[in-house]
Amino acid sequence: MAARADILQGRQKSVAVAGDQPLALDCAKPSLAGSVSQRACVFCGSRVVLYPVADALHLVHGPIGCAAYTWDIRGALSSGPQLHRLSFSTDLREQDVVYGGEKKLALALDRLIPQFQPKAAFVYSTCLVGLIGDDLKRLCRQASEKHGIPVVPVESEGFRGTKKDGYKAACEALYSLIGTAEPAPLAPGIPRINILGEFNIAGEAWILQSYYRRMGVEVGAIFTGDGRIDAIQRAQGAQLNVVQCSGSMTHLAQKMKERWGIPYIRVSYFGIEDCAEALYEVARRFEAVPGILERARAVVAQEVAAVLPALEPFRKDLQGRKAALYVGGAFKAFSLIKALRMLGMRTVLAGTQTGGPEDYERLRSICDPGTIIVDDSNPKELSGFLRQTGAELFIGGVKERPLAHKLGIGFCDHNHERKEALAGFEGMVNFAREVHASVMSPVWALRQSEL
Amino acid sequence: MLLRHTPAEPAIERQALTINPAKTCQPIGAMYAALGLHGCMPHSHGSQGCCSYHRSALTRHYKEPIIAGSSSFTEGSSVFGGQANLLEAITNLFSIYDAEVVAVHTTCLSETIGDDITQIVAKAQDEGRIPKGKYVIKASTPSYVGSHVTGYSNMVKGMIEVFAKSTGKKLDQVNIIPGFVEPSDMAEIKRMANEMGVKTVLFPDTSSVLNSPQSGKYSMYPKGGATVAEVASSGDSSMTLALGPLGAGPGARLLDTQCKVPCQVLDLPLGLRATDIFIDALRKAAGAVVPESIMDERGQVLDFITDMQQYFHGKSAALAGDPDQLVPLAQFLTDIGMQVKYAVTGTPGKKFESKMQAICGPAAKVKEGGQGDLYQLHQWIKQDKVDMIFGGTYCKYIGRDEDIPVIRFGFPIYDRVGHQYFPILGYRGALRLLEKVLTAIQDRQDRDAPEEKFELVM
């Protein structure tokens, strides 16, 4: 394959081409030192998962940067409190490195909790705290006793692994809250679920909630979009956990299954097929409830009837065009490939930051032969692949956007900075509109000049 | 929106915390400075998150791809030290990414475990990991000291340390070290010097790096940036002008110690007076004459101010940002008849408060360091309103809550474009600032005027 020259030594095995042979892709490994990786750290993973809990105090125990760079950068909407959108840091300084940051942390909690009256506090550990050895657990326990709210340590020292380990640390923090309050009794004939791995970016959780309401299913807690501590504390009262963005939250679902016997299913709400399948799967799990399957079918039928004609004009223009994607988790990649196919587009490059061996095998099986599959890539590789494949659309996150634009191809943000809801049936229309607007924009033609 | 979370009273004791910071940490400043060197690959010696955050933040601010390597620390490296990671990284960055210079900065992690970068780089040299004619420069940038401005300044020192050489032969050129300013501002300083016929060496220089054109190609190393040869020659220059005491001062003083190039530390040429001082210093340093074209630019600024002074008079402002910018900004606003009521900077340094109060009067409320945060600024504004806020994007929460216009100023700006292309330094930059201030005032007047007083000619 061409473009091999652009790949770091030691990274050749992290790139493959989909075909009939099973892939043996190197993945789920730490990045090579010196690679301009698009990955982040443990702290980052914890922060993105917990951040949408809107009535909690999120205190970053560390130097200022960790708090500054994660200050409200994710459009996780709240229908009520906005406390999660403030930035709190212990702003550790040199003397704290020498003498420890424990006093500062205790004092910070003493000042902040009475002032902001949060329902709970999350205290994030950072690299520095891991090194100076502050006893976060003890301090949080003491603060909790003193102020009468849960104060939860999040063990998210940046160096202790990848972003995925951060998801796990966040899951542990959430798990410690679940079961600390009594759930309301179930209403007869109305099953209750929790939604896991949904962060309400651009209001997506609200869309899903409306589907479930119409199906006659109660949504207990959402982890963590538009999240509230109270709902999290009662989340053990649900009968089923529905896990989206499986990379981040399967760990929590697994733990809830072990402790409370709550079964879980993994779904995706991106694209018509996957979203319909998600609703059907939930309905099947409660098939003893009279009429639930019919109601699910009615929701899907109604939505699809509205969406399909809306997609048609976009599909006409996008038919046969090539798309590339580089996203955080593999589950999102599967859905995106299917959604792009529905728009008539072909995926020529599919990469993820955190995929595992099974993910890549599945990716291979759903990609067209010839699709480049890559783990933990970097701008140089990505730009090489984009040029080589002639992609006309790139789907990625904040660091990928300017890359696409410099190359003069369309872009769609499917990460924190998405402005439109992309989940659910109406999300598919938004997705199509956004992709269409970018790919078909007249600006790409401006590059041709007589000069 | 955030209104209900910010009461006017009581003040929260800030000894142990910062709420809504008006600063960030050193490494991002070091990364930014390194990008102002041609062919340079910044490298973050720490966890992957740091590098990823800095790249994302700079990408949001510039809408440009930002390159940087990371030592990708793991639990093991944090116990046994990051030497192996850095050595491997140096090899990879040169062999695959074909960097001319690798600029290593540290993080709180590598600083605290005590990695000795000097020794590791020497080892890399010994082991032949650094190809002939290529370089590794370094800066110690622990996140728990100073702020992003300190990191910028430390990387400037790192450049000088390795490259600046005194050959004994003096060159007819003046060094200019800009503080932490935009690529557009760096270009404007060069333009002014050029207009005066003064040969300068300006570094770091992010112009044509972080505002590079769309070409249909991705270039890891855009054509801009000060070259290694240019920085090397700075040791033979007749003089150094440091623009900004915090961002540029330490580098200029190092050049003086290392190569005996005398230096003068000035404020950033922001506003009329500070630009006058810069032009005068440049004139004296190079023995040049101020051309008519520059005097005309100055005259235009003066003309603008006099034509519109009735709008500026008595208007009040709150400022948030870096000391190097805020001091001359406060002077400029005071000069045009406005009143700076509040100013905060997260960058620690006791001089800030006294300098600002000397300019804005003793009644002005000023805070620096961890206590100089945007929450404090918001509380002051709630107690007594101002007509406008100068600051980065995060000030927009205050602006929305209090219905006050925010003039995007400083770093970071995530929600507007323009800072990459249009300077705020020099006389031209002063015109742009004046236009922004006047537009904020007049837009507000148009919006709020009762119909019978709604004016056509303003």
- Write the pLDDT tens digit of every residue in A136-171: 999 999 999 999 999 999 999 999 988 889 999 999
Q: Is residue B457 part of a domain?
A: no
* Residue B157 shares a structural domain with residue B302: no
Least trusted range by pLDDT, from A32-36, A361-365, B135-139, B299-303: A32-36
> How confident is the model at residue B305, as a pLDDT?
98
- Decide if B88 contacts B63 (C-beta within 8 A): no
The domain boundary, picked from B138, B163, B188, lies at B163
Q: What token pair was written down for A50?
A: 């917990």
Q: What token pair was written down for B41?
A: 């690959």
Q: What token pair was written down for A353?
A: 């930051």
* CA-based nearest distance A15→chain B, Å: 16
* Residue B231 shares a structural domain with residue B182: yes
* Residue A159 shares a structural domain with residue A238: no
Do the Cβ atoms of A32 and B88 come within 8 Å? yes
In the predicted model, is pLDDT for residue A2 greater than 60?
no
- Going from the C-alpha of A270 to that of each of A87, A204, A208, A334, the distances in angstroms are 31, 10, 11, 9
Do the Cβ atoms of A34 and B15 come within 8 Å? no
Q: How many angstroms separate the CA atoms of A274 and A114, rounded?
A: 45
Do the Cβ atoms of A32 and B92 come within 8 Å? yes
* Residue A293 shares a structural domain with residue A353: no
**B442 near A CB under 8 A:** no
* Residue A63 shares a structural domain with residue A166: yes
What is the total count of domains within chain A?
A: 3
**B78 near A CB under 8 A:** yes
Q: Is residue A32 part of a domain?
A: no
Q: Closest partner residue to B17 among A39, A91, A379, by Cβ?
A: A91
Q: Is residue A437 part of a domain?
A: no
Q: How many angstroms separate the CA atoms of A151 and B217, rounded?
A: 50
Q: How many Cβ atoms are within 10 Å of A28's Cβ, its own excluded?
A: 16
The mean per-residue pLDDT over the stretch A416-424 comes to 84
* Residue B306 shares a structural domain with residue B443: yes
- Decide if A247 contacts A331 (C-beta within 8 A): yes
In the predicted model, is pLDDT for residue A432 greater than 50?
yes
Q: Closest partner residue to A406 among B93, B95, B214, by Cβ?
A: B214
The mean per-residue pLDDT over the stretch B246-265 comes to 98
Q: Closest partner residue to A159 among B59, B69, B109, by Cβ?
A: B109
Strands B239-243 and B174-178: parallel
- Write the pLDDT tens digit of every residue in A280-325: 999 999 999 999 999 999 999 999 999 999 999 999 999 999 999 9
For testing the chain A interface, which of B218, B219, B376, B393 should be mutated: the one with the most A CBs within 10 Å?
B218
Q: Closest partner residue to A36 among B46, B67, B217, by Cβ?
A: B67
CA neighbours closer than 13 Å in the CB half-sphere of residue B300: 14
Do the Cβ atoms of B72 and A31 come within 8 Å? yes
Q: Where are the beta strands (DSSP E) in A253-345?
A: 264-266, 322-327
Least trusted range by pLDDT, from A17-31, A196-210, B13-27, B60-74: A17-31
- CB interface of B with A, residues 318-357, below 8 Å: 346
In the predicted model, is pLDDT for residue A246 greater than 60?
yes
> How confident is the model at residue B79, as a pLDDT?
85
**B13 near A CB under 8 A:** yes
Query: What is the C-alpha radius of gyration for chain A, rounded to an integer number of angstroms?
Result: 23
* Residue A233 shares a structural domain with residue A154: no
Confidence band of B141 (pLDDT split at 50, 70, 90): very high
* Residue B285 shares a structural domain with residue B322: no
> How confident is the model at residue A20, as a pLDDT?
61
What is the total count of domains within chain B?
A: 3
Query: Which of A59, A64, A55 is closest to A125 using CA atoms?
Result: A59
Q: Closest partner residue to A112 among B17, B88, B220, by Cβ?
A: B17
Do the Cβ atoms of A65 and B47 come within 8 Å? no
For chains A and B, CB pairs below 8 A equal 258
- Decide if B27 contacts B107 (C-beta within 8 A): yes
Nearest CA in chain A to B78: A159
- CB interface of A with B, residues 111-130, below 8 Å: 111-112, 115-116, 126-128, 130
The domain boundary, picked from A304, A332, A359, lies at A304
* Residue B266 shares a structural domain with residue B359: no
Q: Is residue A247 part of a domain?
A: yes
DSSP lists the bridge partners of residue B139 as B105
* Residue B214 shares a structural domain with residue B269: yes
Do the Cβ atoms of B12 and A64 come within 8 Å? no
In the predicted model, is pLDDT for residue B389 greater than 60?
yes
pTM: 0.95
- Write the pLDDT tens digit of every residue in A193-204: 999 999 999 999
The domain boundary, picked from B163, B193, B216, lies at B163
The mean per-residue pLDDT over the stretch A62-67 comes to 97
Q: Is residue A76 part of a domain?
A: yes
**A139 near B CB under 8 A:** no
Range of the domain at B113: 26-163
**A443 near B CB under 8 A:** no
In the predicted model, is pLDDT for residue A435 greater than 80?
yes
* Residue A196 shares a structural domain with residue A127: no
In the predicted model, is pLDDT for residue B365 greater than 80?
yes
Do the Cβ atoms of A406 and B217 come within 8 Å? yes
- CATH assignment of the domain containing A77: 3.40.50.1980
* Residue A300 shares a structural domain with residue A330: no
* Residue B380 shares a structural domain with residue B285: no
Q: How many angstroms separate the CA atoms of B327 and B343, rounded?
A: 10
- CATH assignment of the domain containing B117: 3.40.50.1980
In the predicted model, is pLDDT for residue B347 greater than 90?
yes
Q: Is residue B456 part of a domain?
A: no
> What is the sign, positive or negative, of the torsion defined by CA atoms of B404, B405, B407, B411?
positive
Q: How many angstroms separate the CA atoms of B239 and A386, rounded?
A: 47
Nearest CA in chain B to A96: B144
> How confident is the model at residue A1, as a pLDDT?
42
Please, what is the average pLDDT of chain A?
92
* Residue A51 shares a structural domain with residue A150: yes
DSSP lists the bridge partners of residue B243 as B178, B266
**B367 near A CB under 8 A:** no
**Quick one: how far is CA A213 from the chain centroid?**
23
Q: Is residue B343 part of a domain?
A: yes
Q: A82-111 burial, b for 16+ CB within 10 Å, e for fewer?
A: bbbbbbbbbbbbeebbeebbbebbbebbbb
Do the Cβ atoms of A408 and B68 come within 8 Å? no
**A33 near B CB under 8 A:** yes
Q: How many angstroms separate the CA atoms of B435 and A95, rounded?
A: 44
Q: Is residue A441 part of a domain?
A: no
* Residue A53 shares a structural domain with residue A96: yes
**B143 near A CB under 8 A:** yes
* CA-based nearest distance A21→chain B, Å: 29
- Write the pLDDT tens digit of every residue in A95-136: 999 999 999 999 999 999 999 999 999 999 999 999 999 999
Q: B206-237 burial, b for 16+ CB within 10 Å, e for fewer?
A: bbbbbbbeeeeebeebbebbbbbebbbbbbbb
* CA-based nearest distance A83→chain B, Å: 7
* Residue A349 shares a structural domain with residue A399: yes
* Residue A162 shares a structural domain with residue A196: no
- Considering only residues A307 and A413, tell me which one the structure prediction assigns the higher pLDDT: A307
The CA-CA-CA angle for residues A284, A290, A294, to 5°, reads 60
Q: Is residue B458 part of a domain?
A: no
Do the Cβ atoms of A116 and B5 come within 8 Å? yes
The mean per-residue pLDDT over the stretch B296-307 comes to 98
Cis ω on the peptide bond leading into residue B204 (within 30° of 0)? yes
Confidence band of B3 (pLDDT split at 50, 70, 90): low
Q: Is residue A447 part of a domain?
A: no
The residue to which tokens 């410690």 are assigned: A176
Q: How many angstroms separate the CA atoms of A241 and A235, rounded?
A: 9
* Residue B210 shares a structural domain with residue B327: no
Confidence band of A12 (pLDDT split at 50, 70, 90): confident
Between the two ends of chain A, the Cα-to-Cα distance in Å is 35
Q: Is residue B198 part of a domain?
A: yes
> How confident is the model at residue A198, as a pLDDT?
94
In the predicted model, is pLDDT for residue A330 greater than 90?
no
> How confident is the model at residue A451, as a pLDDT?
78
* CA-based nearest distance A407→chain B, Å: 4
Q: What percent of chain A has pLDDT over 70?
A: 97
* CA-based nearest distance A358→chain B, Å: 24
In the predicted model, is pLDDT for residue A329 greater than 60?
yes
Q: What token pair was written down for B11?
A: 């003040």
Do the Cβ atoms of B144 and A63 come within 8 Å? yes
* Residue A148 shares a structural domain with residue A85: yes
B406-408: strand order across its sheet: B365-368, B339-345, B316-320, B388-391, B406-408
Q: Is residue A135 part of a domain?
A: yes
In the predicted model, is pLDDT for residue A4 greater than 60?
no
A4: enclosing H helix or E strand: none
The domain boundary, picked from B230, B261, B292, lies at B292
- Write the pLDDT tens digit of every residue in B10-27: 888 888 999 999 999 999
H-state helical runs in B314-369? 323-335, 351-360
Q: Closest partner residue to B72 among A33, A88, A406, by Cβ?
A: A33
**B63 near A CB under 8 A:** yes
Range of the domain at A206: 192-304
Q: How many Cβ atoms are within 10 Å of B116's Cβ, its own excluded?
A: 12
Do the Cβ atoms of B394 and A70 come within 8 Å? no
* Residue A86 shares a structural domain with residue A118: yes
- CB interface of B with A, residues 289-308, below 8 Å: none
Nearest CA in chain B to A398: B56
**A97 near B CB under 8 A:** yes
